[in-house]
Structure 1
Amino acid sequence: MSDRRVNRVFLGVILLLLSAGWAANHFASMIMVLREQLGISSMLLNSAFGIYALGLLPGLLGGGVLADRFGARPVVLTGAVGAAAGNLSLMFSHDGAGLLVGRFIVGLGVGLAVSAGTAWAGRLRGAHGVTSAGIALTSGFALGPIASGLLAFTLPGDLVVTVPFAVTCLFSVAAVIFATIVGDVRAPVPAPTPRLSTNPQAPHTQSRDTSRTESRSMSKALAVSLPMAIWVFSTVTTSLVILTARTSSNFDNGVLLPGMASVLSFSVGLGVQALGRRFGWGRISGIVGALLAALGFALVAYGGEVAPVWVFVLAAPILGAAYGLSLREGLLGIEAYTPPARRGTAIGIYYVFTYLGFGLPVLLDALMPVWGAVLPLLVLSALAVGSAVVRALQIRRGYLPAR
């Protein structure tokens, strides 16, 4: 088995995950387009954005379990085709039922692709593959809203709705074709990747921590990862949907706001993931991620129901950094502590908790008449601080050893 063949297969996995992120998140820009062009209500559009998460739940769990049992490749390809089918449906059907059904199908397909695709990347490249999978997914989440927002801004009115959905479908199909052509390799499962100190002058520390991480279990993997999971998509959803909606009245062209939020949030999220991989950032970066989430939620709360532009510019990158650090630390926890035979299942469970954040806009809409625009975000900020405390205690008590 040549390295070149493995590289081609790995590239196929990365393209599938990139297309999955694009297929999922380009709808953030289409919310503004559908609202302005077709007069669809914010409540229905936020519901369509959130119902995607309901499709994700069985997709993520089922994709992980099926990947463990039958292999990741057929599951990922099926998911990518499903995501394309959902967006194809959305291209033609814009009534209430059409939006909800289409987004549900997209969620189901993306769920299959994400959990099985991350497991596939981990099988091919170990911890490097898992973190690369997170970066590819983040890139798709970033590029989707940017591309759809730019298309909506430049295209004539009769094409502004259909073309962004068509481009998304074509990208998904192209990724499926490429991955089908390159096939798969039966690479050996990489050796466990313990979360060790990177200090070469401390071999005794490495030996001690290796003995700690030899005991792998699903419960430990989830215990260290789930406190990070809940701040992954709740942060970027706050930036792309909630913050853009609250800022739109203070901005000349609201259709560009989701794309701008995507640039501000996901570029920082990608940056911190890449820097963390390059410099081997340790376990404390999870604490930083949760605290940044708390700060971002507090800033959005400060902006109120009609947020000034400066709050948008400041909060979006902070929430993006929280997203990137939380995603990276959660995936590394899964990779480090999950038994290899159950990695797909663990990734699926982890991503289920991350994607609960996509329901946040609907939840805040429902709470608005009772709690207002500020209090729910302050509660989220306090909960994020609580997650930082949990992780700090795990580190202090030795449950989360140095790496």
Structure 2
Amino acid sequence: MSAGKSSPNIVFASVIAFLISAGWAANHFASVLVVLREDWEMSTLLVNSAYGIYALGLFPCLIAGGLVADRFGSRPAVLLGSTVAMLGNAALMFWQQNTVVLLTARFVIGLGVGLVVSAGTAWAGRLRGASGTTLAGIFLTSGFMLGPIASGIIAHLVSAHYAIYIPYIASIALSVAAIMYSFRAGDVPNFHEVQVVPEQDAPAGVEAEAPAPVIEKSGAKALFTAFPMGLWVFASMTSAVVVLAGRVGNHFESSAFMPGVAAVVAFGSGLIIQALGRHFHFGPVSGVIGAVCSATGFVLTALGGATPSLVVFVVAAIFLGLAYGLCLREGLLDVDTFSPPEKRGSVIGVYYVATYIGFGFPPLIEWLDGYVGPSPPYWVLASLALVSAVIRTVQIRSGYLVRK
């Protein structure tokens, strides 16, 4: 379908399809890694590294995707990224038993997903403004949640042999469907519509309304406000879906379904709070609450130690999910509000780099466990999350962080 004949709603639906499939492609591995660890006897450090190395591929392509979106438009970067992520999952489906292929393919998936996330979010923002940006976060979260849930159900219902193949087929099928739908949907022209409203004198005896405050727009301000939020997005979520799910799995003969349970609780909490925030128009202070929720989840994880109870697991996952949802939403809104339109894609890319630092935490915490035990790293993370809450509070009270 040509750009001139495309409907913005149809194009936006194609963007949503790309974001859901990208989140699924990235995160369905959370349940597969349990099968690799328990039934294929791969080490915990190796499978957690395979989960986290994906973030190394993300970093350069989050930046590149944003730059390409600013310069050439979002659709080419998103199409390329979705194709690359699909090929990475295809390689894993056939050769994941090979350590080199396992790590390399996860890295390649990160490259592809990075392009889709930054360029896709910029694309959604271009089509629908701030509403599109927040919806992009919601549907990306949906993909992150549904992937491990589906993989966990499959792993629990079928034999280990099939449990490490079928999830990849589902992910590849979603990517193919999103690509094919985009070829039909096309895109709409990239332009910025500017409406000029003529000034009118106020009626006699009626005091004129004060003009709306002018919001300073710069990439630096967008990142100064968004970065302290971004740090706790996936740091919170991976702590629930990978670390906590792995530790509480010691209570069960097979823990292959636990990442799926963690995804339901944590991502479900994140989805609900993002939807509520969009409906009730939560202000910047909700970012402070998000950082405090992250700190609370980290404290509970530290208190749970190596074998947390099911109650600690559920409550911590709820707090970590709330932190994910609030911090992701507030960071994206800061970027949308304060970044110049011509630099928005690249600023979104840098912001998402901050969020995906958290994907490196599971292997780091597993490595530190042998030296300091399971709890001290989470006491440190809780303290740092509180520092972010203080920084955002100061930004709000000083008048530096004001959104219309």
Mark yes or no: TM-score above 0.5: yes
The correspondence of residues 324-339 of structure 1 with structure 2, limited to 5 A, is: 324-339=325-340
Size of the aligned set, in residue pairs, is 389
The share of aligned pairs that are identical, in percent, is: 49
* Alignment partner, residue 166 of structure 2: 163
Question: Per-residue deviation at 1:367?
Answer: 1.4
* Alignment partner, residue 246 of structure 1: 247
* Alignment partner, residue 199 of structure 1: none
Question: What letter is aligned with 1:9?
Answer: V
Q: 1:78 to 1:314 in 2, by over 3 A?
A: same
* Alignment partner, residue 393 of structure 2: 392
Q: 1:180 to 1:190 in 2, by over 3 A?
A: same
Segment of structure 1 superposing worse, 360-369 or 9-18: 360-369
Could you tell me the TM-score, scaled by structure 2's length? 0.93
* Alignment partner, residue 74 of structure 2: 72
Could you tell me the TM-score, scaled by structure 1's length? 0.94
Q: 1:402 to 1:8 in 2, by over 3 A?
A: closer
* Alignment partner, residue 183 of structure 2: 180
* Alignment partner, residue 24 of structure 2: 22
Contact (CA 8 Å) 2:6, 2:187: kept in 1 or not?
Answer: no
Question: Per-residue deviation at 1:189?
Answer: 3.1
Contact (CA 8 Å) 1:27, 1:49: kept in 2 or not?
Answer: yes
Counterpart CA distance in 1 for 2:348 and 2:10 is 23
* Alignment partner, residue 143 of structure 1: 146
Contact (CA 8 Å) 1:26, 1:148: kept in 2 or not?
Answer: yes
* Alignment partner, residue 298 of structure 1: 299
Q: 1:86 to 1:297 in 2, by over 3 A?
A: same
Counterpart CA distance in 2 for 1:294 and 1:158 is 39
Counterpart CA distance in 2 for 1:398 and 1:9 is 37
Question: What letter is aligned with 1:291?
Answer: V
The correspondence of residues 182-197 of structure 1 with structure 2, limited to 5 A, is: 182-189=185-192
* Alignment partner, residue 10 of structure 2: 8
Question: Per-residue deviation at 1:187?
Answer: 4.8
Q: Could you list the per-position Cα deviations for residues 314-334 of structure 1 after superposition, in whole angstroms to 9, with x for gaps in the alignment?
A: 111110000000000000000
The structure 2 residue matched to 1:122, chosen from 104, 120, 125, is: 125
Q: Could you list the per-position Cα deviations for residues 82-110 of structure 1 after superposition, in whole angstroms to 9, with x for gaps in the alignment?
A: 11111101101122101101100100000
Counterpart CA distance in 1 for 2:318 and 2:268 is 8
Counterpart CA distance in 1 for 2:403 and 2:168 is 45
Counterpart CA distance in 1 for 2:138 and 2:375 is 32
* Alignment partner, residue 370 of structure 1: 371
* Alignment partner, residue 92 of structure 1: 94
Contact (CA 8 Å) 1:125, 1:190: kept in 2 or not?
Answer: no
Matched, 1:353 2:339: no
Contact (CA 8 Å) 1:118, 1:130: kept in 2 or not?
Answer: yes
Q: Could you list the per-position Cα deviations for residues 368-401 of structure 1 after superposition, in whole angstroms to 9, with x for gaps in the alignment?
A: 1222111110000000000000000001100011
Counterpart CA distance in 2 for 1:251 and 1:316 is 18
Segment of structure 1 superposing worse, 3-12 or 18-27: 3-12
Contact (CA 8 Å) 2:270, 2:324: kept in 1 or not?
Answer: yes
* Alignment partner, residue 195 of structure 1: none
Matched, 1:131 2:134: yes
Question: What letter is aligned with 1:100?
Answer: L
Contact (CA 8 Å) 1:63, 1:112: kept in 2 or not?
Answer: yes
Q: 1:190 to 1:28 in 2, by over 3 A?
A: farther
The structure 2 residue matched to 1:110, chosen from 83, 88, 113, is: 113
Counterpart CA distance in 2 for 1:53 and 1:288 is 26
Contact (CA 8 Å) 2:35, 2:160: kept in 1 or not?
Answer: no
Contact (CA 8 Å) 1:124, 1:189: kept in 2 or not?
Answer: no
Counterpart CA distance in 2 for 1:349 and 1:28 is 25
Question: Per-residue deviation at 1:188?
Answer: 3.2
Counterpart CA distance in 2 for 1:228 and 1:317 is 18
Question: What letter is aligned with 1:117?
Answer: G
Q: Could you list the per-position Cα deviations for residues 238-287 of structure 1 after superposition, in whole angstroms to 9, with x for gaps in the alignment?
A: 00010011111113431110000000001110011111011101111000
Contact (CA 8 Å) 1:124, 1:190: kept in 2 or not?
Answer: no
Q: 1:143 to 1:190 in 2, by over 3 A?
A: farther
Matched, 1:43 2:77: no
Question: What letter is aligned with 1:87?
Answer: N
5+ residue gaps, structure 2, are 196-207
Q: Could you list the per-position Cα deviations for residues 152-197 of structure 1 after superposition, in whole angstroms to 9, with x for gaps in the alignment?
A: 11223431111111111111111111011110001533679xxxxx
Segment of structure 1 superposing worse, 84-93 or 155-164: 155-164
Counterpart CA distance in 1 for 2:88 and 2:260 is 22
Counterpart CA distance in 1 for 2:251 and 2:285 is 37
Counterpart CA distance in 2 for 1:249 and 1:369 is 18
Q: Tell me the SS of whatever aligns to 1:158.
A: helix
Segment of structure 1 superposing worse, 258-267 or 94-103: 94-103
Contact (CA 8 Å) 2:16, 2:136: kept in 1 or not?
Answer: yes
Q: 1:190 to 1:44 in 2, by over 3 A?
A: farther
Counterpart CA distance in 2 for 1:44 and 1:73 is 35
Counterpart CA distance in 2 for 1:377 and 1:314 is 16
Question: Per-residue deviation at 1:402?
Answer: 4.8
Counterpart CA distance in 2 for 1:387 and 1:278 is 25
* Alignment partner, residue 322 of structure 1: 323
Contact (CA 8 Å) 2:225, 2:392: kept in 1 or not?
Answer: yes
* Alignment partner, residue 54 of structure 2: 52
Question: What letter is aligned with 1:269?
Answer: G
Q: Could you list the per-position Cα deviations for residues 1-38 of structure 1 after superposition, in whole angstroms to 9, with x for gaps in the alignment?
A: 99981100000000000000000000101111111221
**Runs of 4+, deviation exceeding 4 Å:** 1-4
Question: What letter is aligned with 1:325?
Answer: L
Contact (CA 8 Å) 2:86, 2:109: kept in 1 or not?
Answer: yes
